Amino acid sequence: MIDWKYGTYATIWWIILLATYSTAKEVTNNFGRSFLTLCLAIIIVIIGSYFYEHTHPQFQEKNRTSTVNHLRAIWVLFILVVYLAVALQVPHSDIFFLTCMTLAQSVPAFFTKYAKSKSDKN
């Protein structure tokens, strides 16, 4: 079963982080400023997702269960192998690292379902 809403929700947050970092890297070629911008974006995403998930508990990761057994582990292992194969060829691949992290977290998010928590039962 594919959950398009939660998968899209997870993908959007990761794309925001990826776009923020790549834009900051293009504007300034200084690693310190790019890292600081990424940290600021992470803080904004964490705060934004906290308030959004507080009003919509079906988007909280703790309320989700996987529909395909061991998909996350297999997918992360596959992404790790791809990353290592490319990272050995391209020494400075920080944007590729964030892209691999985005794929490793977003694709398994599509294969989850909402499991009602104890507080949601009426």
Say which residue, 91 or 122, is predicted with more confidence.
Answer: 91
DSSP state of 112: E
pLDDT in tens, 56-94: 888 888 888 888 888 889 999 999 999 888 888 877 677
The lowest-confidence range among 8-12, 55-59, 118-122 is: 118-122
b or e along 76-110 (b: 16 or more beta carbons within 10 Å of the residue's beta carbon)? beebeeebeeeeeeeeeeeeeebbbbbbbbbbbbb
pLDDT in tens, 16-45: 888 888 888 788 777 788 788 888 888 988
pTM over 0.85: no
Say which residue, 112 or 118, is predicted with more confidence.
Answer: 112
At residue 122, the pLDDT reads 45
